[in-house]
Amino acid sequence: MKRNSVIILITLVVLVSCQNNIDQGLVVYFPFNANSADQSGYRHEGIVDGAILTVDRYGNKDCAYSFDGKATILLKALQMPALQDAQSISWWYCIDSLPVYSDEWGAGNMIALVDTAKGIGLQFGFRGPAYQSLGLDTWNWGGGTLLEVEPPMVNIWHHCVYTFDGTVHQFYIDGQMKAHSTKETQNGIPILLMFGNYPSGDQYFAGRLDEFRIYNRVINSSEINQLYNLND
């Protein structure tokens, strides 16, 4: 009986430790549960313009945001890692169909982290054929592609993770690493975070977003799978 109690105690300690580890270095966290409030401790508050609450991947009401191709959420963000420093960005998205662009230079920004005054940033989303990429991209402010992957199936929630260790960029979809590169990033600290477009832009995203996180460190493959399997 005593041995079983020790095993249970060790298991609980491991579970608590794993949860603490997944929050280590977390500087932005938007669960999008009924509002656009940041839960990381820095308490950033997003300004919602047209985005509406919707069901998440589990069918929970008002636990994700829907963007109709002209909606955004914008905020000023503190404590962001510099673009050239170690970081990880995690989020969930779902689209009903692949984007159709009015011209081949069209794009749909899911996420933009930028400093418009300094002309630096990091953007994630879909881009048209003129960019000569696979379609689901990570790019510098101004358009230089860092990573590209084939867009996964539509009408399904997908988990995305971007990591950068100062040299290597990696992109994961649903727990699997799909692309990597050593392309040069821009230098500087983003001060604006935007969902659904980029500041002053007209390249809107149409779809749903949920569970957005930014870390000031590189999360490992075990932690990525933990996030992929984590319930809201």
Residue 24 has pLDDT above 50, yes or no: yes
pLDDT band at 154 (very low <50, low <70, confident <90, very high): very high
Top-level class of domain 26-228: mainly beta
* Per-residue model confidence (pLDDT) at position 77: 85
SS3 197: coil
Tokens of 108: 């749909």
DSSP β-bridge partners for residue 76: 192
* Cα four-point dihedral sign 106, 179, 75, 188: negative
Tell me which residue has tokens 């998440």: 56
Say what percent of the chain tops pLDDT 70.
91
Indicate the DSSP class of residue 45. Answer: B
pLDDT band at 5 (very low <50, low <70, confident <90, very high): very low
* Per-residue model confidence (pLDDT) at position 79: 86
* Per-residue model confidence (pLDDT) at position 230: 83
Tokens of 49: 């313009």
Residue 160 has pLDDT above 50, yes or no: yes
* Per-residue model confidence (pLDDT) at position 40: 80
Mean pLDDT, range 90-114, rounded to an integer? 96
For the chain, what is the mean pLDDT?
Answer: 91
Residue 214 has pLDDT above 50, yes or no: yes
Mean pLDDT, range 164-181, rounded to an integer? 98
Mean pLDDT, range 43-52, rounded to an integer? 90
* Per-residue model confidence (pLDDT) at position 19: 52
Neighbours of 4 (CB within 10 A): 8
pLDDT digits (tens, 9 = 90+) for 132-144: 999 999 999 999 9
Q: Compute the half-sphere exposure of residue 211: CA atoms within 13 Å on the CB side of its CA.
A: 21
**What span, in angstroms and rounded, lies between the C-alpha atoms of 120 and 215?**
19
Closest of 49, 45, 120, 110 to residue 78, by C-alpha: 45
pLDDT band at 14 (very low <50, low <70, confident <90, very high): very low
* Per-residue model confidence (pLDDT) at position 13: 37
* Per-residue model confidence (pLDDT) at position 78: 82
Cβ 215 vs Cβ 224: under 8 Å: no
* Per-residue model confidence (pLDDT) at position 45: 81
Residue 162 has pLDDT above 80, yes or no: yes
Mean pLDDT, range 15-29, rounded to an integer? 74
**What span, in angstroms and rounded, lies between the C-alpha atoms of 171 and 150?**
11
Whole-structure pTM over 0.85, yes or no?
yes
**Residue 145 burial (C-beta neighbours within 10 Å; 0-12, 13-18, 19+):** middle
* Per-residue model confidence (pLDDT) at position 12: 35
Residue 18 has pLDDT above 70, yes or no: no
More confident residue, 88 or 21: 88
pLDDT band at 55 (very low <50, low <70, confident <90, very high): very high
